[in-house]
């Protein structure tokens, strides 16, 4: 039974590979996300929210621990999360919560996932690689005894049904539920985005974000299915919120909606993510419930590593000093921003790269002599990208190396080196890009007042 009526329940609604601009509050005109949009408007909307690692496993290690992927060691897919790193489940369990995990895990190296590699969750209905154990209308996961369980319905609905059952069964206890969907990630063996029957055609050929319209990639082929998956996810969010309300838990339940990374539809490299562009790193994020209702639209840039300390503080659980993110609650409560307003991104697998994103600028570097699968970091990087997001929000004009932006690049170089030093405890060399003459005016990093 609940020992402290003030202990809020916490649900994480976690999608996979969802761009921020699939949502109405970010300008998508197709009406895909009325439930998320309501969350953002009535709760707290982290309007500028970013992953710190645009690939599935590493991003999950960051969200489970509040630490960067090089700190956890899970810097690429296939490296299991070490037992030496406490997870959200560990912290909530220690505070008297029942903890549950449903869906895609991607932090182990075995299937089914043995008990010791489940991050400390009490209840388990999951697959390490859900995209390989299931299909859109063939949902198979493993229970706590590692028995295969086949669930009926479209996969989004199957996971949502399981989550609603969990909430109903634990409504008298404080609970922490992590609900991890695979949608709108592509189905690997098909390289396709299988929406529910009848959904894809509704959105095929409709509105396309400017970067995809300009660069093409696989968006004309896949965007209809992708949008259909997003629509069904939002319907699932509405069902879950309705279930919480019907059980009388709304006033004491925090719900976080976020995603692990975005999707650039093969416009920036040969697949869908693993780049520093907003299409790869920017995600939709909102929270409702005690401490977050009426929080408004945050202007501060938010990283995935900021969300674990936020949830712990909201539940009155001490935030461990080893967490590397910053809770959002001081900003929400006091309506003021403290500390640097930027996010630091580590990129692996396709390359060893680092980036920093400020309100106005994007600056990215790569290590051409390193292998993104075998190397976690580098001693030497080379400038690769510079974008002025005020003039070019969809990052279509790379300014790196232009003489008129030398001062901007130099300041961002120092800022990125400082972030690398803070997180990775090393200070590499960044080699400036080869210079290019430019007829454009000289720009100051502080010119717009929103560096």
57 shares a domain with 29? yes
For residue 339, tell me if it sits in a domain: no
Burial (CB count within 10 angstroms: exposed 0-12, middle 13-18, buried 19+), residue 1? exposed
pLDDT at 339: 74
- Residues 215-261 pLDDT 10s: 989 999 999 999 999 999 999 999 999 999 999 999 999 999 999 99
Determine, yes or no, domain membership for 344. no
| pLDDT score, position 440 | 53
Average pLDDT of the segment spanning 108-112: 97
Instruction: Check whether residue 363 and residue 264 sit in a common domain.
Output: no
**pLDDT more than 70, % of the chain:** 96
In the prediction, which pLDDT does 30 show? 98
Mean pLDDT of the region 46-50: 98
Q: Give the number of residues written for the chain.
A: 451
Same domain, 212 and 289: yes
What is the band of 6 on the pLDDT scale with cuts at 50, 70, 90? confident
- Sequence-distant (6+) residues with CB within 8 A of 311 are 10, 12, 88, 254, 256
- Are 100 and 228 in a shared domain? yes
Per-residue model confidence (pLDDT) at position 334: 83
pLDDT single digits (tens) 386-438: 999 999 999 999 999 999 999 999 999 999 999 999 999 999 999 999 998 87
Q: Would 442 be classed as within a structural domain?
A: no
Residues 280 and 369 in one domain: no
* Per-residue burial over 405-432, b = 16 or more CB atoms within 10 Å of its CB, e = otherwise: bbebbebbbebbbebbeebbeeebebee
Tokens found for residue 332: 């929400």
CATH, residue 360: 3.30.1120.10
> The domain spanning residue 325 has which CATH number?
3.40.720.10
450 band by pLDDT with thresholds 50, 70 and 90: very low
Alpha carbon separation from 53 to 70, 427, 430 (Å, rounded) = 10, 19, 20
Does 340 reside within a domain?
A: no
Tell me whether residue 445 is in a domain.
Answer: no
Residue, of 352 and 83, whose pLDDT is higher: 352
Same domain, 200 and 314: yes
Using CA atoms of 325, 70, 128, 146 in order, give the dihedral in degrees to the nearest 10: -90
Same domain as 303, residue 387? no
- Asked if residue 451 belongs to a domain, the reply is no
When divided into structural domains, the chain yields a total of 2
> CB atoms < 10 A from the CB of 107, how many?
25
Range of the structural domain that residue 400 is part of = 351-431
Do 286 and 192 lie in one domain? The reply is yes
How confident is the model at residue 438, as a pLDDT?
Answer: 76
pLDDT value of position 294 = 97
320 and 362 share one domain? no
Residue 138: strand pairing partners: 135
The pLDDT score that the predictor gives to residue 3 is 44
Q: How confident is the model at residue 439 (pLDDT cuts 50, 70, 90)?
A: low
Please determine, for residue 98, whether its predicted confidence score (pLDDT) is greater than 60. Answer: yes
* In a shared domain, residues 410 and 359: yes
Other Cβ atoms less than 10 A from the Cβ of 396: the count is 12
50 near 345, Cβ under 8 Å? yes
- Is 141 within the bounds of a domain? yes
Query: Same domain for 323 and 417?
Result: no
Lowest mean pLDDT among 2-16, 81-95, 224-238, 336-350: 2-16
What is the tally of helices (H) and strands (E) in the chain? 13, 16
> Is 1 a member of any domain?
no
Answer yes or no: are the C-beta atoms of 98 and 120 closer than 8 Å. no
Examine the domain organization and report whether 329 and 425 are in the same domain: no
User: Which of 3-12, 30-39, 82-91 shows the lowest mean pLDDT across its residues?
Assistant: 3-12
């Amino acid at each position: 039974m609940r020992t402290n009526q003030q202990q809020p329940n916490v649900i994480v609604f976690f999608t996979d590979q969802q761009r921020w601009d699939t949502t109405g509050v970010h300008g998508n005109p197709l009406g895909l996300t009325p439930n998320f949009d309501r969350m953002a408007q009535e709760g707290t909307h982290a309007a500028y929210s970013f992953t710190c690692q645009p690939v599935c496993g590493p991003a999950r290690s960051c969200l489970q621990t509040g630490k960067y992927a090089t700190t956890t060691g899970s810097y690429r897919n296939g490296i299991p999360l070490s037992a030496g790193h406490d997870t959200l489940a560990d912290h909530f369990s220690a505070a008297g919560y029942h903890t549950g995990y449903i869906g895609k895990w991607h932090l182990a190296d075995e299937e089914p996932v043995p008990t010791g590699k489940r991050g400390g969750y009490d209840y388990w209905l999951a697959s390490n690689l859900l995209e390989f154990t299931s299909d859109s209308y063939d949902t198979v996961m493993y229970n706590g005894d590692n028995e295969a369980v086949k669930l009926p319905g479209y996969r989004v609905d199957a996971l949502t049904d399981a989550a609603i059952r969990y909430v109903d069964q634990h409504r008298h206890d404080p609970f922490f539920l992590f609900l991890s969907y695979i949608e709108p990630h592509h189905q690997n063996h098909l390289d396709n985005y299988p929406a529910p029957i009848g959904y894809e055609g509704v959105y095929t050929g409709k509105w396309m974000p400017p970067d995809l319209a300009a660069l093409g990639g696989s968006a004309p082929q896949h965007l209809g299915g992708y949008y259909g998956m997003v629509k069904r996810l939002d319907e699932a969010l509405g069902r879950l919120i309705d279930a919480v309300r019907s059980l009388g838990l709304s006033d004491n339940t925090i719900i976080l909606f976020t995603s692990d990374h975005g999707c650039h539809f093969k416009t920036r490299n040969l697949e869908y993510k693993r780049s520093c562009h907003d299409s790869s790193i920017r995600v939709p994020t909102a929270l409702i419930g005690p401490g977050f209702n009426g929080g408004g639209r945050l202007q501060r840039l938010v990283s995935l590593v900021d969300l674990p300390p936020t949830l712990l503080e909201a539940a009155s659980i001490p935030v461990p000093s080893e967490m590397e993110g910053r809770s959002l609650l001081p900003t929400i409560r006091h309506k003021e921003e403290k500390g640097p307003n930027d996010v630091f991104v580590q990129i692996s697998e396709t390359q060893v790269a680092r980036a920093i994103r400020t309100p106005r600028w994007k600056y990215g570097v790569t290590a051409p002599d390193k292998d993104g699968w075998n190397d976690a970091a580098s001693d030497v990087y080379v400038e690769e990208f510079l974008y002025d997001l005020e003039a070019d929000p969809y990052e279509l004009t790379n300014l790196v190396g232009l003489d008129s932006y030398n001062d901007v690049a130099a300041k961002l170089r120092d800022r990125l080196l400082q972030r690398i030093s803070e997180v990775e405890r090393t200070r590499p060399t960044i080699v400036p890009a080869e210079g290019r003459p430019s007829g454009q005016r000289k720009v100051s990093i502080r010119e717009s007042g929103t560096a």
